Amino acid sequence: MENHLTVKLGEKKDRKGPVIFSEYKRGDAIRKALSMSREDILFELKDSKLKGRGGAGFLTSTKWMLTAAAKAEKKFIICNADEGEPGTFKDRVLLMEYPELVFDGMVVGGYTIGAQLGIVYLRGEYEYLLKPLEDYLEEMRKGNLLGKNILGKEGFDFEIKIVLGSGAYVCGEETALIESLEGHRGEPRNRPPYPINTGFLGRPTSVNNVETLAAVSHIVVKGGKWFAKYGTDKSSGSKLFSVSGDCERPGVYELPWGTKVSELLELVGAKNAKAVQIGGASGHCIPKPQFEKTLAYEDIPTGGSVMIFNDNRDMLKVLKNFMEFFVDESCGQCTPCRIGNVKLLEGVEMIEKGNYTFAHINKLKDLGRTMQLASKCGLGQSSPNPFISILENFKDEIFNRGNGGRNGR
């Protein structure tokens, strides 16, 4: 991991990509946006069909439109940089190498929705980025890209501040993030109401992923139609993938939506891959026969985490690791998530010991489906995904383990 002394913001590695990693200069989007009306920016976004890059895939234009339409004295735009999904690190790369994209996107967002303050909720583990990012903001202030009457635009005042998270995975959920920002326990709120009308301090708030904001900067400069050229009809543009695991070239890749899993695997030099966990711990585990599926909201939606497992990996151990993560990271507020994950983990341990019945495992899968439906927030709603998909897709490997114990009856 980078030492904070060596972090030099904006220093780019040789990265190639059609959209995010394409040419961009600090302030371009702000300059362009300020010459446009707010409505035009929203139309441009609508043309781009940009969807939220955090994983949920809500239309950014709709989110901003609703926040812009909400009546309030104060509004906020929050950059969700609480990148905590296991296997994701693309936001860190964006913040370190392309901070201009993210911050310009925030300023554009502030202008569009009518916010006066942007808040970056920075993952606690990225503390070493705090100082460099703040220095960067200071530079922006000097260039009048932040502050009062930005770039001479009378009446447009916008500031950005950075708040450090405290290490809870659940705070990546937007309402838990807002609770945490307000100084409370990081627990998701009931929805509705949504942050777009009752967000930070009860005001209309747009919470956007780091990558979404970066995409906005390009869209404003190059146009929504240009952006929509890439990707598929339902998934426009490109996506950053954080690739890790059993491959020769792990790292952050920008690929258009609609790329096949197999194409990605080839690109990163993953030989002998038998499984790919897409979307992090809360995502889905894709077995070899499904490698021809595409990465897209309509096929395999993802926030960008790609973990590759080769033939030597024990999928039950992989599953156990994920379930341990969820037991640890559940906020403990709602019943299905707090206790359900423990029960699922116990099920994994039973299989590990060979002391289980299929009846019980099926009961747990059924419980998993309840958790998907009845949990309060996305964490509990997605935590059974690996349990269900790994047990389903790797049942031969898992239930025929040579563990000498009593296998399933």
Partner 1 sequence: MEDKKSLRAPVSQKPHVIPKPEHPEYLGGSITVEINEKKLTVPFGTTILEACRQAQIHIPTLCHHEDLCVAGVCRVCVVEVEGMRTLQASCAFPITAPIKIKTTSNAVRKARKHIIDLLISEHYGECYSCFRNNNCELQSLAKEYGVDHYNFGHVTQPRYEVDNSSYSVVRDMDKCVLCKRCVRTCIDLQEVGVLEAINRGHNTHIGTFLDKPLAEVICINCGQCINRCPTGALRANDPRDEIWNAIDDPTKHVVIQTAPSPRAAIGEEFGQGPGKSFTGELNTALRRIGFDKAFDTNFAADLTIIEEGTELILRLYKALVKKEKVALPQFTSCSPGWVKYLEHFYPEYIDNLSSAKSPQQMFGALIKTFYAQKTGIDPANIVSVALMPCSAKKFECNRPEMNSSGYKDVDYGLTTRELAQMIKEAGIFLPEMPQSHFDDPFGEASGAGLIFGATGGVMEAALRSVIEFVTGKRVEDVYANADITPVRGFEGIRYAEIPIAEVGSVPKLLQHLIPDWNWLKGATLKIAVAHGTANAKKVMEDIKAGGKFSECHFIEFMACPGGCLGGGGQPIPTNEQIRKKRAEAIYNEDKSLPVRKSHENRHVSELYEMFLTDGPCGHNSHKLLHTHYVKRGKYIA
> Binding of partner 1 at residue 402 (CB under 8 A)?
no
Query: Where does this chain touch partner 1 (CB under 8 A) — which range of 13-21, 26-34, 314-322, 372-380?
Result: 372-380
Among 47, 372, 397, 401, binds partner 1 (CB under 8 A): 372
Whichever of 370 and 400 has its CB closer to partner 1, that residue is: 370
> Binding of partner 1 at residue 332 (CB under 8 A)?
yes
Among 159, 339, 355, 399, binds partner 1 (CB under 8 A): 339
Peptide bond into 193 cis (omega under 30): yes
Among 110, 188, 224, 386, binds partner 1 (CB under 8 A): 188
Which among 36, 129, 113 is positioned nearest to 76, based on CA atoms? 113
CA–CA distance, 123 with 81 (Å, rounded to integer): 6
> Binding of partner 1 at residue 71 (CB under 8 A)?
no
Dihedral sign from CA coordinates of 268, 51, 45, 137: negative
> Binding of partner 1 at residue 338 (CB under 8 A)?
yes
Q: Are 123 and 84 in contact (CB under 8 A)?
A: yes
> Binding of partner 1 at residue 123 (CB under 8 A)?
no
Among 47, 131, 374, 399, binds partner 1 (CB under 8 A): 374
Q: Which residues contact 313 (CB under 8 A, 6 or more apart)?
A: 246, 274, 275
> Binding of partner 1 at residue 72 (CB under 8 A)?
no
> Binding of partner 1 at residue 69 (CB under 8 A)?
no
> Binding of partner 1 at residue 353 (CB under 8 A)?
no
- What is the total residue count of the chain? 409
Geometric angle at alpha carbon 18, from 239 and 255, rounded to 5°: 35
> Binding of partner 1 at residue 407 (CB under 8 A)?
no
Query: 63 to each of 60, 77, 196, 197, how far by Cα in Å?
Result: 5, 11, 7, 10
Dihedral sign from CA coordinates of 283, 46, 96, 135: negative
Which residues bind to partner 1, rule: CB under 8 A? 168, 175, 178-179, 182, 184-185, 187-190, 192-193, 197-198, 202, 327-336, 338-343, 346, 363, 366-367, 370, 372-376, 381
